[in-house]
Structure 1
Amino acid sequence: MVVYPELHLCGATGTPQQRREQLEAAAEPIDGPRHQHLSRIARNLGVWLLPGTVCERGEDGHLYNTAPVYSPEGERVVAYRKCFPWRPYEPYQPGDRFEVFEVPGIGRVGLAICYDIWFPEMVRQLAWLGAEVIINQVATTTCDRAQEQILVQANAIFNQVYMVSANSAAPAGEGQSLIVDPEGRIRARMSGATPGILTDVLNLEEVERVRTFGTAGLNRMWSQFRDDDPVLELPMYEGRIDPRKWRGKR
């Protein structure tokens, strides 16, 4: 699986107005010419390709920050629209759904784009949908990359999933990409903003081991509830935690 950072193919610089103009010029429908090229690349190389997010022109005319995923056969298996644009700095319309995809014979992968992981509901929902790995494509150009790396570890710990955070390197971003295991340990990382390639081999059976025996051999959050526990109301969401549904789609 080959993963590129957020807006790798159509980054924008300058003032907010200049950025908006550049993104408007780069925007295409999701099935436009760019899709054809990316599909061909994935098929020719025989790889799972996450080419970085693209600026999508939606059917409604709005701009979306969208992460397409291509299979080794060149099929676009999913296209996730960023749910939490970095406001007020980004001009995108928010997406309205979470996306996971299956790698046959391997496991399930969830998608999050940059600022998404600052909202704990995001990765929790992806984990509930069965994701064992969360790919977080990032274009952080600001000094908060330090805090963002902590959030990558925290999301891994909270949800007992692998987190892969691929950030743009210099001169476009702050770099410091990292891969974190389901107990929050950093497996691999790039130091500084120097461009480079980060590689790893993930054993997804580790996710089930951690969830079965607990983080640090102790904490089993996905086994917290019993079926006869009371429903926990969540007034903020006008929703609830139902103990009978807590373990999710695994």
Structure 2
Amino acid sequence: MPRPLPLILAQAPGRPADDLAGFAADVERRVKLRAPGALVAYPELHLGEGAPGTVADPEDTAEPLDGPRDAALSQLAGDLGIWLVPGSVHERGEDGRVHNTTPVYSPQGKRLTTYRKICPWRPYETTTPGNRFAVVDLDGVGRIGISICYDTWFPEISRHLAWMGAELIVNVVRTPTGDRAQELVLNRANAIANQVFVASVNAAAPSGVGRSLIIDPQGTVRAETPGGGDTTLTDVVDLDEVVNVRRYGTAGLNRVWEQFRPGDPALELPLYGGRIDPATWNPATTHEEPSR
């Protein structure tokens, strides 16, 4: 059975953290006439703009997770009946530290999960790193994972999301620099190596250089924006394609998740102080917890 998921990637310039009314109007404009139940994603720190093209001081814009911003975003998702990934926001943790955090909201107006950026772009970003991966089930559709911008440079993050059962990795980005070209290659590589969809949405000028794209589990670019203007990238992906690619192999050849099998020797990984255990190599299936 197909499992279609409409995607709406908002390649937009950033907004001040307190411009929730403007954000709501922008989401409604982009969603209008689109399929119900779409997943709508905005760039990293979309609600974190200072002067045009600059990120505001995290200390000035950070809110606790259950603050008024969260209530407004929950209501917006519920009012429009969408899965909402509003980019990322500055979150004030219970210990007072500030994180770069992506929340995910359901069409019922509930916050389903949050993800704190594991790899801030050091030394330029000062937020406190997160220490856990985040996947979430979209009821009746499938499971997605979340990464934020520089995370995509670390293959361990995408690999772990796929192992946890993610069929689509939503990568929210704010890249105004020349290395967006490399990020496009890395996103394709992460899709190929893990046989997952990747949707990478970058900010528009002056906050970013754009070049958002949607990649299928074989690494083929399905849709992309050619430049850095304010635009909306749309597609409808079938998450069952992940199942088919893993079953028959990339290009009908490579079944990477069947490489390690029960009875094979464990592979020590001294870099991580861990190992690849063939008994736990296969990824979780949708709506199941990964084996430990």
The reply to whether TM is greater than 0.5 is yes
- 1:234 pairs, out of 245, 264, 269, with 269
Q: Is the 8 A contact 1:6 1:114 kept in 2?
A: yes
Q: Give how far 1:13 is off.
A: 5.6
Q: TM-score, normalised by structure 1?
A: 0.96
Query: 2:43 aligned with 1:5, yes or no?
Result: yes
- 2:98 pairs, out of 63, 66, 69, with 63
1:124-160 superposed Cα distances (whole Å, 9 cap, x missing partner): 0000000000000000010000000000100000000
**Could you say which structure has the greater relative contact order, defined with CA pairs below 8 angstroms and 6 or more residues apart?**
2
Query: 2:287 aligned with 1:246, yes or no?
Result: no
Q: Which residue matches 2:12? A: none
Write out aligned runs for 1:96-245 (5 A).
96-245=131-280
1:182-241 superposed Cα distances (whole Å, 9 cap, x missing partner): 000000000110110000001011001100111011111001012010000000110000
1:59-103 superposed Cα distances (whole Å, 9 cap, x missing partner): 111110000000011100001000010000001100010000001
Aligned residue pair count: 247
Distance 1:212 1:42 in 2: 35
Write out aligned runs for 1:54-93 (5 A).
54-93=89-128
Q: Which residue identity is paired with 2:42? A: Y
Q: Which residue identity is paired with 1:11? A: E
Q: TM-score, normalised by structure 2?
A: 0.83
Q: Is the 8 A contact 2:58 2:127 kept in 1?
A: no
Q: Give how far 1:10 is off.
A: 0.9
Distance 1:12 1:94 in 2: 22
Distance 1:109 1:152 in 2: 15
Q: Give the secondary structure class of the aligned counterpart of 1:29.
A: coil
Q: Give how far 1:12 is off.
A: 4.2
Distance 1:249 1:208 in 2: 12
Q: Give how far 1:52 is off.
A: 1.1
Q: Which residue identity is paired with 1:228? A: G
Q: Which residue matches 2:290? A: none
Structure 2 unaligned runs (5+)? 1-38, 286-292
Distance 1:67 1:112 in 2: 8
Q: Which 4+ residue blocks in structure 1 deviate beyond 3 angstroms?
A: none
